[in-house]
Structure 1
Amino acid sequence: MSIKPILFNTDMVRAILDGRKTVTRRVVKPQPMGYFEVNDNPVFLYDFDPIAERVYSPYQPEDILYVRETWHKYIKRVGKGEGCHLAEFYGYKASVKNSEDSNTPWKPSIHMPKEAARIWLKVTNVRVEKLQDITTDQIIAEGVKTEEPFSLNGTEKRYAFSQLWDSTIKKENINRYGWEGNPWVWVIEFERCEKPQEVEQ
């Protein structure tokens, strides 16, 4: 078991907090040419060159992940009377609601330190598949909103997920890693967990 960071954008953080998101997909890099390994087990896509590069999942079952999200530090006055003082707190864009920290500049998730993490996840399963092999159930588990309209059918859900996916891919990589590119992806399933004791110390 390892403790590792994982980045999510603000909408996906909200989906995790709401209990709507229990899986994430990440592009396999580099894309396999015919052979790669999942959890130390070889996967053969087709006739392959034995010299082909091996690709390993960035996360393994039982790994503990701390979510990096858009954040900042802010100062507010706490206490009363002689005990009144200024204190520093962490704030999170996914949760701010016109509070005392709403006007403080935000910092990107990539720069969030482990000590600021408030969401911890335990990896329950890792597999690999083509992006467009995603099922309707998995689209829902990805946290794609389906309430508006409530009766989204499978085709509409796939379109909603494809738009969400493409919004996370850099323009220069859209042909290779975007929805239409149908890349191989790591499918990482997880569940919420408590902060590990070794991190508390």
Structure 2
Amino acid sequence: MPEIKERPILFSAPMVRAILEGRKTVTRREVKPQPPEGHKWRGWVVDSTCSREIGTASWGDGTGALQRNSVYARCPYGKPGDRLWVRETWSADAQVDSIAPRDLSQGEPIHYAADGAARQTGCAMIKPGKGRPSIHMPRWVSRILLEITAVRVERLQDGEGETAFESRYIAEGINRIHQGDGDYAFHPFKSEPGPGNWTDPFDAWRELWVGINGAESWNSDPWVWVVEFKRVTP
């Protein structure tokens, strides 16, 4: 039985909440580096340990080299069946604020900033300490484990023009807000009717991407890894 590989992945607080609520089942991450101009993606690579020529069924030599009008690549997030453990903003008890994350005892109570949840591990939390960045979250602190179900490559804005029913971006955790009379609005962060909501989920997706990656990234319409996942028990 092949070993299941695990890799860390960072998510912001709104996206953590979307995962916990079952609204987010896919993430898009920019392909780095982008293919040179004149080269085309004709498919995708789902194995992160070796490379394959895009658009063919044959495996490459593992060099990651570019060939004429084709691209070799490796998906840094893995392949279907691999797992991603989520890093998010967190804190331990205030009494251990001076201790580095790598030196914390695994019996420490943990507070998760995204939704205020706490892991007590048999002792009462006196007071949540300083916020610790997601990048500094050890594996044992992570409470969310995801299993990759599919990987592909597409342009960031490929889904423009899809109907709300068809939109591929709602699975990014976009809030679907009932407006009455069967109508819906969409927003990446808000979940209630009101000003600032969008009638098209594509616009809500744009607001989400720009908020994380900036307007320049959106305007360049980069190739992105599309990683679909399901939540599993840690």
- In the superposition, the TM-score normalised over structure 2's length comes to 0.66
> Structure 1 vs Structure 2: percent identity of aligned residues?
40
Which residue pairs with 1:165 in the alignment? 209
Alpha-carbon spacing, 1:101–1:131, altered in 2? closer, same or farther (3 Å): farther
Residue 189 of structure 2: aligned partner: none
Where does residue 100 of structure 2 map in the other structure? Answer: none
Measure how far apart 1:105 and its partner are.
1.8
Q: Provide closer, same or farther for how the CA distance between residues 101 and 158 of structure 1 changes in structure 2, counting only shifts above 3 A.
A: farther
The amino acid of 1:43's aligned partner reads I
Report the Cα distance in structure 1 between the residues aligned to 2:135 and 2:117, rounded to whole angstroms.
23
Q: Contact (CA 8 Å) 2:150, 2:227: kept in 1 or not?
A: yes
Match of 2:114 among 87, 94, 98: 94
Count of aligned residue pairs for this structure pair: 177
Matched, 1:38 2:45: yes
Structure 1 equivalent of residue 194 of structure 2 = none
Give the aligned partner of residue 16 of structure 1. Answer: 19
| Aligned: 1:140 with 2:160 | no
Calculate the aligned-residue CA RMSD, in Å.
2.9
Asked if the contact 1:32–1:55 (Cα under 8 Å) also holds between the matched residues in 2, the reply is: no
Q: More helix by proportion, 1 or 2?
A: 1
Structure 2 residues without counterparts, runs of 5 or longer? 56-65, 96-106, 119-124, 187-197
Structure with more contact order per residue of length (Cα contacts < 8 Å, sep ≥ 6): 1
- TM alignment of 1:1-201, pairs within 5 A: 1-33=4-36, 34=39, 38-39=45-46, 40-43=51-54, 49-50=67-68, 54-58=72-76, 59-74=78-93, 88-96=108-116, 104-134=129-159, 136=164, 137-147=167-177, 149=179, 151-152=184-185, 156-169=200-213, 174-175=215-216, 178-195=217-234
Is this contact kept in 2: 1:91–1:101, CA < 8 A? no
TM-score between the two structures when normalised by the length of structure 1: 0.76
CA contact (8 A) 1:75 1:89 kept: no
Unaligned runs of 5+ in 1: 77-86, 196-201
| Contact kept? 2:150, 2:229, Cα under 8 Å | yes
Question: What amino acid sits opposite 1:113 in the alignment?
Answer: P
Find the aligned partners of 2:126 and 2:185 in 1 and give their Cα distance: 36
Q: CA deviation at 1:74?
A: 1.4
Assess if the C-alpha contact under 8 Å between 2:93 and 2:128 holds in 1: no
In structure 2, the CA distance between the partners of 1:123 and 1:145, relative to structure 1 (3 Å rule), is same
Question: Is the contact between residue 94 and residue 129 of structure 2 (CA under 8 Å) also seen in structure 1?
Answer: no
Please say if residues 10 and 135 of structure 2, whose CA atoms lie closer than 8 Å, have aligned partners that are also in contact.
Answer: yes
**Structure 1's 53 and 11: CA in aligned 2 closer, same or farther, altered over 3 A?**
same
CA distance in 1, matches of 2:108, 2:175: 34
